[in-house]
Amino acid sequence: MPRIGAQRCAGPHNRAQSEWAAFAMGSAAMADRTNEQARNEFYAALVDLHCDAGRPSYSEIARAAYLGRGVVQRILDGVRVPDHKTLALLVTALGGEAQVPRFQALLKRIYVPTVDPQPGAPANAAATERHESLEISYFDSTREFYSALADRLASAEEEICVTYIRQLAPNRYTDEAAARYFASLLEWSTVPHRRVLRVIGVPARNGSPNQRFLEWLREHQAATRRNLAYEAKVFEWTVDTDSINMALIDGRTAFLTFSGISGQQISGLAANSELFTARWRGYFNQLWSHAKALDDYLDAYDLG
């Protein structure tokens, strides 16, 4: 299938028309549930924006937007219609922050009713809601969860976004499956063209981080210092319980973990869905944007 990246930008008057063919095949799969004219206008505008930005690569856009490279590629190839949050990140990364409202208005026009609204529902309900059947896998123990996550990690291709917001440092887990997963995550990121983004919540009380956790953080910094594909950010977690934690793989699969009464007890779930994963990616991006780079956090702590 032709791709945006394989095309040359035409002049300002005919480039959208000349490049629309790049989306035709990918968009055809959506024809039965979208408004064709609105879809054409949306992607033509996206092509123009990409040209105006100097045609950055998928990887460059993904880094700037904090999105998976595969997600960016499917959107720009016309295979996937983004949700509003993903679209805003993409448009902003292409230098069009002021145009986000226009693109979101174009996106809203794409969807047309495919089923009759329920009695009493707003007239446009079918046009604004998105539904899918979601198959969820449940894991009842730490071993089950981390074994399944490690298996999925082996088939990951481009990007993994993970959070670690817990009271115990990773090296204090007694289950071997957890230890294997944490080691595999770092090993996976050493392959070229891959990326791991990790948000770490350091347990803290009265403005002071937990010392045992801080010791692990220093060891972790030393172990990952030369791995440029692995990026960790840190913030201080002042709640005396673990947070819900996530591992988002290639923008398509979401693993969520829930701690039990003991920090060693973990249950979880996994779902393969771009829509479901995108919602958690939005939350991950919020955490990421408010955390400090690992090196900066430790430097500031030492100076303080």
- pLDDT tens, 11-32? 443 444 444 334 443 443 444 3
CA 153: distance to chain centroid?
15
- Kindly state the tokens that stand for 212: 């045992």
Provide mean pLDDT across the span 140-162.
93
Report which residue type is found at 296. D
Query: Is the separation of the CB atoms in 239 and 210 below 8 Å?
Result: no
| Residue 221 pLDDT exceeds 90 | yes
pTM (two decimals):
0.64
Helix spans in the chain (H) = 15-19, 21-28, 36-52, 58-65, 69-76, 84-93, 100-110, 125-128, 142-154, 176-188, 211-224, 274-290, 294-303
What pLDDT score was predicted for residue 63?
87
pLDDT digits (tens, 9 = 90+) for 159-211: 999 999 999 898 887 778 888 898 999 999 998 888 999 999 999 998 899 99
Count helices and strands (H / E) in the chain. 13, 9
C-alpha closest to that of 150 among 259, 268, 251 = 268
CATH 3.30.870.10 fits 136-303, yes or no: yes
Domain boundaries, the chain: 4-128, 136-303
What pLDDT score was predicted for residue 110?
76
Highest mean pLDDT among 62-71, 78-87, 140-149: 140-149
Confidence of residue 105 (pLDDT cuts 50, 70, 90): confident
Selected residue with higher pLDDT from 200 and 226: 200
- Kindly state the tokens that stand for 70: 């595969």
Residues 77, 55: Cα–Cα separation, whole Å: 13
| Residue 256 pLDDT exceeds 80 | yes
Question: What mean pLDDT, rounded, does the chain reach?
Answer: 81
- Kindly state the tokens that stand for 131: 């539904």
What pLDDT score was predicted for residue 166?
94
| Residue 61 pLDDT exceeds 50 | yes
**Site of tokens 């999105």:** 67
Confidence of residue 236 (pLDDT cuts 50, 70, 90): very high
Confidence of residue 274 (pLDDT cuts 50, 70, 90): confident
What pLDDT score was predicted for residue 130?
61
Report the greatest alpha carbon distance in the chain: 64
What pLDDT score was predicted for residue 199?
98
Residue 144 burial class via C-beta count within 10 angstroms: exposed 0-12, middle 13-18, buried 19 and up: middle
- How many C-alpha atoms does 48 have within 13 Å on its Cβ side? 16
In a 3-state reduction of DSSP, which class is residue 143? helix
